[in-house]
Amino acid sequence: MSGEKSLEALLAGLRPRLHDETFVFCTLPGGQIGGLARATPFATVMEAEGLTVVIPQGHADQEGLEYQATFRCITLEVHSSLEAVGLTAAVSGALAKASISANMIAGTFHDHVFVPARSVEEAMTTLIALSKAYS
């Protein structure tokens, strides 16, 4: 089944779901995940500076990894197409109006928004209101 492409349908069906864990973004300069594979990274991104891993804060602390901030993950349960236009802009725009940063990661089926842990309640309220505006 292919994902939804209609922006209005995507926004109406956002169904934001908050994950229990607190996540951090860490960089592994050597570009190798090695023993961190047991930490089951939520996401990885290879950059010129190294391999960025998004992992639960507890795993980063156990491994002695540095990070600058803590984040909570909100998964948008709507099945979005990777070719949909405007979802990232609408979500990040609504959060920006509330002065909340949004780090978006797209998976094959869903989009995931990492927001500062201190702002998670306001972020959830903002995304629920955004969805209700299109329902």
- Is 86 in contact with 134 (CB distance < 8 Å)? no
| CA dist., res. 117 & res. 102, Å (int) | 11
Q: Number of helices and strands (H, E) in the chain? A: 4, 6
CA contacts within 13 A on the Cβ side of 11: 21
Nearest CA to 76 out of 7, 2, 13, 5 is that of 13
Q: Report the distance separating Cα 135 and Cα 133, nearest Å.
A: 6
**Other C-beta atoms lying within 10 Å of the C-beta of residue 66:** 8
pLDDT tens for 72-121 read 999 999 999 999 999 999 999 999 999 999 999 999 999 999 999 999 99
Question: Cα dihedral sign for 87, 88, 92, 93?
Answer: negative
pLDDT over threshold 90, residue 126: yes
- Residue 110 pLDDT: 97
At 82 the pLDDT is 95
Task: Determine whether 19 is exposed, middle or buried from the number of CB atoms within 10 Å of its CB (0-12, 13-18, 19+).
Answer: middle
pLDDT 10s digits, 28-78: 877 777 777 677 899 999 988 889 999 999 999 998 999 999 999 999 999
Q: Is pLDDT of 7 > 80?
A: yes
Question: Looking at residue 39, what is its pLDDT?
Answer: 74
In sequence order, which residues have a C-beta less than 8 Å from that of residue 89 and are 6 or more positions away? none
Q: Which domains does the chain have, with CATH numbers?
A: 7-132 (3.30.2130.10)
What pLDDT does residue 13 have? 97
Structure tokens at 52: 């960025």
pLDDT bin (cut points 50, 70, 90) of residue 1 is: low
